């Protein structure tokens, strides 16, 4: 055998061995033939197919493309679990866990005590825009909202976040029926202080009238002052002209009492017009700038209210995706 022939056989054997490791990824292997006649001339190694490990993976095995910078995370449908982009998550945790929220609530009610004493001494003062005529000789009262002003319902919001849902009537009614809301920090102490000074507490709430008794039970269980000879929990629907706007109910209290302070967490707890566009709401708040934290005691509520409905054009039954889209459209960046 010549040197040339020997070299050709060696090259052929190498090529045949390399060929057993190639093929379409995932294809079944075929058994080798029992006997193969070597070709007259072997192919150069540069013409051999690359090994399977060197081939690019199929498209199905590639990771999904990264989201564009700044693109919102997908929001799952209600009931599929908490959404990473749920805009209430941080707000509810801030209310439930932060020292800052507790300190702010306590400071707000400490200021309310000082303003209560000041208003008691000044018989010419009233906190209600609806109060007209001679009122200096009327007995004193405080008009307070309930939810997120005196009562903390963050546990309800937490339950809804965990379920991947938002506020809706069935779950909210069930929560009210349980009568398990807790007191906002400082609220109970303030209410008792006011009652001890001879001031009547009126709770003007937009909870449905059907749940007034359960609401009273919740307040009583916590120790909030209630009186036996007068209805001091005023809900929409109790009278034909009592809707969600609280002005008629404030006016009703003002007929028999001098209103020293208004306490709430929403612009509508103090003045009509809270459902206007955001810019108009800001202008309304600035019009009464001298009243804030003097005769109008405001508590923070970062997860719902007329401020949020204004961002959504006061439309209801929007999907989570649409809510997020509209809120993102309201953001003001640095450009």
pLDDT at 335 (0 to 100): 80
Q: Where are the domains of the chain?
A: 89-327
pLDDT at 76 (0 to 100): 45
For the chain, counts of helices (H) and of strands (E): 11, 7
pLDDT at 234 over 70: yes
pLDDT at 85 (0 to 100): 59
**pTM score, whole prediction:** 0.76
DSSP type of residue 33: P
Burial of 95 (0-12, 13-18, 19+ CB in 10 A): buried
Strands of the sheet containing 296-298, edge to edge, are 233-234, 200-204, 140-144, 258-264, 296-298
Region 214-226 average pLDDT: 98
Q: Are strands 140-144 and 258-264 parallel, antiparallel or unpaired?
A: parallel
Task: Report d(CA 320, CA 329) in Å as an integer.
Answer: 14
Task: Report d(CA 240, CA 184) in Å as an integer.
Answer: 31
pLDDT at 77 (0 to 100): 45
**Nearest of 130, 103, 153, 101 to residue 262 by alpha carbon:** 130
And the tokens for 177? 């029926």
Q: Write down the CATH number for the domain with range 89-327.
A: 3.40.50.1000
Using only C-alpha atoms, the chain has a radius of gyration, in whole angstroms, of 35
**Nearest of 252, 199, 246, 204 to residue 227 by alpha carbon:** 199
Q: Are strands 200-204 and 140-144 parallel, antiparallel or unpaired?
A: parallel
Q: Please give the share of the chain, as a percent, with pLDDT higher than 90.
A: 70
Region 47-63 average pLDDT: 45
Look at residue 10 and give its three-state secondary structure: helix
Cα distances from 239 to residues 3, 209, 235, 270, 271, in angstroms, run 113, 10, 9, 20, 20
Region 160-164 average pLDDT: 91
Q: Could you tell me the pLDDT band of residue 55, with boundaries at 50, 70 and 90?
A: very low
pLDDT at 70 over 60: no
Region 6-33 average pLDDT: 36
Task: Give every CB contact of residue 120 below 8 A, 6+ residues apart in sequence.
Answer: 140, 197, 199, 260
Look at residue 249 and give its three-state secondary structure: helix
More confident residue, 210 or 53: 210
């Amino acid at each position: 055998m010549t040197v040339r022939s020997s070299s050709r056989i060696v090259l052929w054997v190498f090529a045949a061995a390399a060929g057993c490791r190639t093929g379409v990824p995932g294809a079944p292997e075929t058994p080798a033939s029992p006997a193969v006649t070597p070709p007259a001339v072997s192919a150069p190694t540069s013409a051999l197919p690359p090994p399977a490990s060197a081939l690019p993976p199929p498209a199905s095995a590639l990771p999904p493309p990264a989201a564009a910078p700044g693109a919102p995370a997908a929001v799952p449908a209600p009931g599929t679990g908490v959404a990473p982009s749920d805009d209430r998550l941080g707000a509810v945790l801030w209310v439930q866990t932060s020292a800052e929220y507790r300190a702010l609530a306590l400071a707000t009610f400490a200021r309310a005590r000082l303003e209560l004493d000041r208003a008691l001494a000044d018989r010419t003062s009233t906190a209600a825009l609806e109060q007209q005529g001679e009122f200096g000789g009327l007995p004193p009262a405080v008009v307070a909202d309930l939810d997120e002003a005196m009562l903390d319902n963050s546990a309800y919001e937490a339950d809804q976040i965990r379920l991947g849902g938002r506020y809706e009537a069935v779950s909210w009614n069930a929560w009210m029926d349980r009568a398990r809301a807790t007191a906002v920090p400082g609220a109970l102490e303030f209410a008792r202080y006011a009652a001890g000074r001879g001031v009547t507490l009126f709770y003007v709430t937009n909870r449905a009238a059907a749940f007034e008794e359960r609401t009273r039970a919740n307040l009583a269980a916590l120790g909030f002052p209630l009186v036996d000879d007068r209805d001091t929990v005023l809900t929409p629907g109790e009278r034909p002209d009592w809707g969600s706007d609280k002005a008629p109910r404030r006016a009703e209290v003002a007929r028999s009492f001098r209103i020293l302070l208004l306490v709430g967490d929403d612009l509508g707890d103090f003045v009509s017009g809270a459902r206007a566009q955001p810019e108009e709401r800001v202008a309304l708040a600035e019009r009464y700038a001298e009243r804030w934290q003097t005769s109008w005691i405001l508590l923070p509520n970062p997860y719902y209210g007329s401020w949020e409905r204004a961002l959504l054009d006061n439309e209801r039954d929007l999907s989570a995706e649409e809510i997020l889209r509209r809120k993102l459209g309201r953001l003001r960046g640095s450009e």
